[in-house]
Chains A and B, each alone.
Chain A
Amino acid sequence: MPAESGSNRRPATGAFFQRDRTWHPPALTPNYKTSVLRSPQKAPLSFDNTLSEITGPVFGHAMLGELDADLIHNFARPGESAIGERIIVYGQVLDERGVGVRGALLEFWQANAGGRYRHKKDGYLAPLDPNFGGCGRTITGEDGGYAFRTVKPGPYPWPNGPNDWRPSHIHFSVFGHGFAQRLITQMYFEGDPLIWHCPIVRGIPDKAAIETLIATLDMQATIPFDARAYKFDIVLRGRRASLFENRLEGN
């Protein structure tokens, strides 16, 4: 991406902080059964980032449509809207240094208010909402901030144990500035008792890590008589500063 007009900011080009793989769920989490045959068993090959990991695609705001960040209306018939509890989800994409990540593409998807996905693989008996597609996207601003409007997704049963339920959640896909920052995660809702029963959530070993995926109700950000608001910050890997680092000319 060319430097924005009027900006003298130099692009950041350092390698990313080592990923703390103990903070993430391990590949094999047997209580989430699908992981059993899909989890690599050999140790990964570790190496410091090369240009292939330090670089990454950048998406411009020009690709966004007017309703991309409005799941209440982006699939609805004219004059209609999705059914459910109207909410705003907002927050910041930050890196591990605490610096906002500008220009990050966020894509999100979710079930409807009854807990049903618009997908041929989802056979849950809750009905589809003809006015709800379930996808949205946005690009963060200068400070890493973002916001979108949607309905609160419902919890739903899924085939794992005989009676496992997913807590209400929104899936997030995040691009940072380098491909090594690529991340997919899920946002949960403050106060949902199903969080602590969920085999997918419980694949994360540390309770403190799980808590970073729980969005907080923010009554000060609500729109009275319209929508409540949940705040959800996302943290991507930080970039090492090139303090006193031996660097090849032009590398």
Chain B
Amino acid sequence: MAQSLGRLRESPSQTAGPYVHIGLTPNFCGIVGVYPNDLGATMVNDKTKGERIGLRIRVLDGTGTPLKDALIEIWQADADGLYNSPAELRGAADPNFFGWGRCPTDMETGLCTFDTIKPGRVPFTDGRLMAPHITLWIVARGINLGLHTRLYFSDEEKANAEDPILARIEQRVRVPTLIAERQGDTYIFNVHLQGEKETVFFDS
């Protein structure tokens, strides 16, 4: 036997279940008065720098049916490509932009909407710039480990073409699964959990 490294192991994940709203968005599901508002419901204010955009996201199961009990969190850089986080050492992010949002899918339509700003470009590990993107984390009943992916923007063709993460996708036909379609000021993004159009999920 060699010396033990003495490390712990990450707690195993368990599904968020059908009642995730009680814990994470209680006001949304009628539990009013415990918290003044649901965390992550508002991402921008009048002073936030950057182009205002909307995101309309749906999560579809293997039959194409939208999930009506999922919860999505997003994490993104500010308009200059800086994260509002202690691990961001390149400079101070916009103090009027927290960069994190949370939205439950609508219980009737399955639609999730975020009002945010378009993020700037953030460097990859080797210093090359990644294309503007938003990190998504999706949990729901039936999802055993939160799903991690990214939303890229359809009007950033040049940046997308040189993005080091998108470049790693071997089957090029799958790249569009990560690109949200622009319609006016809104981006439409469908997350497919299974099937021919299955979204590229990440292990990072």
Contacts and interface: CB of A to CB of B under 8 A. Distances in A.
Do chains A and B stick together as partners? yes
Contact of A41 (B137, B143, B169, B194): B194
* Most chain B CB within a 10 A radius of its CB, from A51, A185, A213: A51
Contacts of B139: 184
* Most chain A CB within a 10 A radius of its CB, from B24, B165, B199: B24
Interface string B49-65: 00000000000011101
B7 interface: yes
Contact of B7 (A65, A97, A204): A97
A20 B75 contact: no
A52 B145 contact: no
B3 interface: no
Interface residues on chain A, size class: 35 or more
B178 to A, nearest CB: 10
Interface residues of B, number: 81
A38 B61 contact: yes
A28 to B, nearest CB: 8
A251 B127 contact: yes
A201 B73 CA distance: 24
B193 interface: yes
B16 A171 contact: yes
What are the nearest 8 A-B pairs in CB distance? A109-B23, A34-B142, A55-B85, A38-B142, A57-B100, A55-B83, A11-B86, A44-B203
Interface of B: 6-24, 26, 29-31, 33-36, 39, 61-63, 65, 67, 69, 73, 75, 77, 83-90, 98-100, 122-127, 130, 133, 135, 137, 139-148, 150, 165, 168-169, 193-194, 198-204
